Amino acid sequence: MIHWRRATVRTVLTDRPGAREVTAALHTPLPGAEDAAEVRALAFTDLVGAPEPDDDVLLNVSALARRLGTGGFALVTAIPDRLPADPPPSPGHLVKDRYSPSQTMVLGVDDQESPHHRTLAEAAEISGTPVIVADLHSSLPAIIAGIRADRPQARVVYIMTDGAALPLAFSHAVHGLREAGWLHATVTVGQAHGGDYEAVTVHTGLLAAVHVAGADVVVVAQGPGNLGTGTPYGYSGLVVGEHLNAAALLGGVPIAALRMSQADARERHRGISHHTLTAVTRVARPGCVIPVPTPDTLTDAEAAVASAWEHSPGAVAETTRAQLPELAEAGHSLVDVGLEGLLSALEGSPVRLSTMGRGLAADPIAFLAAAAAGRAAAAAVVPVA
């Protein structure tokens, strides 16, 4: 199941909190290759330490062996000659990534040893806080751009679930959004780890986001690397429905960000993706808010985007209009959201906008739909008394 290789670190490429990317020379070739190559390798420094040039490392090269695009790099699993020092004594007994070789112990915000335990034990609701739930991690910067277009001072907290990448440090976007001040705090739930706060479930993650981190708006989405099989229920984003239910159960405003595309080569993802339609109509309980991007009162430049949505060869506006009744019939509230100002808000993102390898110019509706969800959440923020 795992392709292992030994390698020697050559150079350090990048550093960000919790992660270091290096180049490493393999000691033996990958399967099917004649020569031992030099590869990109990622080390999660909180787990394995920080590799330096000339370190010998153990690598998981499974993604490279299978010639995968997503995740197509090696992962440092150990620096055997320079193991990290033992962590200092500390509270906390939540084990994340349980029973894998990289399981890690953290202090959960809901842990008995946490200073926030009483708050989480007594909190029962989130008092109308808007909670945006998205299928793709790539929606996160676009959603926040939409929030900030109308409420630039809103405190946004991101809850990363364990549907895809487990270490938060894997996300370049989260790092860039934090650096730019666009993201106030992060919570990692389930098996995911590395957030400002750790929580056992999405439910306690939501309570912590509001009652501990002081969120005005919460965004819930899996980390990078979603999984899909082309079957109706076989994809990691199906839990969007359950997370919307959690937000509603706790008294929040559940807002479903539409996953949309006008450029995806797969028909099932054009217009409104079947991932959204299935999760929201078959798993989520009735009563969610569904922000629908509508191209009215736009500037000339923005109108060009809307025109492409309606009339270009990849246009799927008619398909989308045919899909919307399915969402309404499931008992959800469709809310038209104007796009004015959102294109410039997206262009001002401090991190690169990319979904399935496509940027804003290649697939504008993917990001505008996410920004529309952010705008809807901004409108639902409960004013401070």
Residue 301 has pLDDT above 80, yes or no: no
Question: Whole-angstrom Cα distance, residue 36 to residue 7?
Answer: 9
- How many other C-beta atoms can be found within 10 angstroms of the C-beta atom of residue 368? 29
Give the pLDDT band of residue 300 (cuts 50, 70, 90).
low
| pLDDT tens track for 100-109 | 988 999 999 9
Give the pLDDT band of residue 329 (cuts 50, 70, 90).
very high
213's tokens: 């981190």
What is the per-residue pLDDT for 67? 79
Q: Which residue has the higher pLDDT, 12 or 228?
A: 12
What is the three-class DSSP state of 278? helix
Residue 310 has pLDDT above 70, yes or no: no
Q: Largest Cα–Cα distance of the chain, in whole Å?
A: 68
Residue 89 has pLDDT above 60, yes or no: yes
What is the per-residue pLDDT for 264? 74
The pTM assigned to this predicted structure is 0.93
Read off the pLDDT of each residue in 253-262 and give the average, rounded to a whole number.
93
DSSP 46-59: HHH----TT-EEEE
Strands 333-338 and 289-294: parallel
What is the per-residue pLDDT for 296? 63
What is the per-residue pLDDT for 136? 95
Residue spans of the domains in the chain: they are 4-78, 117-380
Per residue, the 3-state secondary structure of 205-250, as one string, reads: HHHHHHHCCCCCEEEEEECCCCCECCCCCCEHHHHHHHHHHHHHHC
Read off the pLDDT of each residue in 295-304 and give the average, rounded to a whole number.
64
Read off the pLDDT of each residue in 83-103 and give the average, rounded to a whole number.
90
Give the pLDDT band of residue 307 (cuts 50, 70, 90).
low
Torsion of CA 326, 329, 332, 338, to 10 degrees: 50
What is the per-residue pLDDT for 77? 96
What is the per-residue pLDDT for 32? 83
Which numeric CATH code is attached to 4-78? 2.40.50
Residue 304 has pLDDT above 80, yes or no: no
| pLDDT tens track for 187-234 | 999 999 999 999 999 999 999 999 999 999 999 999 998 888 889 899
Helix 364-380 and helix 140-150, axial crossing angle in degrees, nearest 10: 50
What is the per-residue pLDDT for 92? 87
Read off the pLDDT of each residue in 325-351 and give the average, rounded to a whole number.
93
Please give the C-alpha separations between residue 356 and each of 132, 143, 213, in angstroms, as whole numbers: 21, 17, 31
Identify any residues that bridge with 355 across adjacent strands, giving them in sequence order.
358
* Contacts of residue 100, Cβ cutoff 8 Å, sequence gap at least 6: none
Give the pLDDT band of residue 306 (cuts 50, 70, 90).
low
| H-run or E-run covering 370 | helix 364-380
Residue 132 has pLDDT above 60, yes or no: yes
Residue 156 has pLDDT above 60, yes or no: yes
Question: Whole-angstrom Cα distance, residue 42 to residue 24?
Answer: 10
What is the per-residue pLDDT for 230? 84
% of the chain exceeding 90 in pLDDT? 72
Residue 59 has pLDDT above 80, yes or no: yes
What is the per-residue pLDDT for 368? 92
Residue 279 has pLDDT above 90, yes or no: yes
Measured in degrees and rounded to the nearest 5, phi and psi for residue 74 equal -85, 155
- How many other C-beta atoms can be found within 10 angstroms of the C-beta atom of residue 291? 26
51's tokens: 């590799």
What is the per-residue pLDDT for 322? 85
Which residue bears the tokens 């110019």?
Answer: 361
